[in-house]
Amino acid sequence: MKNIIISTIIAGALIVGSVMFSYSYTNSSASITKAADNVSISGDEQFITINTKGSRFLPEITIAQANMKTALTVITDGTFGCKATLVIPAINYRNNLPPFGETAIQIPPQQAGAVIYGVCGMGAHNFSIDFN
Ligand SMILES: [Cu+2]
């Protein structure tokens, strides 16, 4: 009887543990690919922050407001290689990012439905800003 109670407790703990693990895993992967908390609005301008991390720009997808001036800040932290070159074709932007620091990029107001892509110097490692 005692063994049954103990194994029930262990099984219950395993189920709770795996549910908690998958919940936190889902949460963290969601914040990598998509985040709204990297956009803030002050007055008639919105501010977007994108980080370079590993071989990616994060978040990969940003949802922003249409018809509004946009100040994009790209934060680099030990960034090197092709990713140190940022290209945003829609606004004819091409620049070498500093290894460490913040790079300010102005994006003019975009129509609803517009998507602006940022790519590395090789044309890979995309991020997008979706305006709606
Ligand atoms: Cu690259």
What does pTM read for this prediction?
A: 0.71
* CA distance linking residue 28 with residue 19, whole number of Å: 14
> Ligand 1: distance of its center to the CA of 128 in Å?
15
The CATH T-level fold of domain 36-131 is Immunoglobulin-like (2.60.40)
> Ligand 1: distance of its center to the CA of 126 in Å?
9
DSSP structure string for 4-19: HHHHHHHHHHHHHHHH
> Ligand 1: distance of its center to the CA of 80 in Å?
10
Sequential pLDDT tens for the chain (132 residues): 555 544 554 455 544 444 444 444 444 444 444 555 899 999 999 999 999 877 789 999 999 999 999 999 999 998 888 878 999 999 999 999 999 999 999 999 999 999 999 999 888 888 999 999
* CA distance linking residue 49 with residue 44, whole number of Å: 17
Q: Give the number of C-alpha atoms closer than 13 A to the C-alpha of residue 95, restricted to the C-beta side.
A: 15
**84: exposed, middle or buried (Cβ count in 10 Å: 0-12, 13-18, 19+):** middle
Q: What are φ and ψ of residue 39, in 5° steps?
A: -120, 130
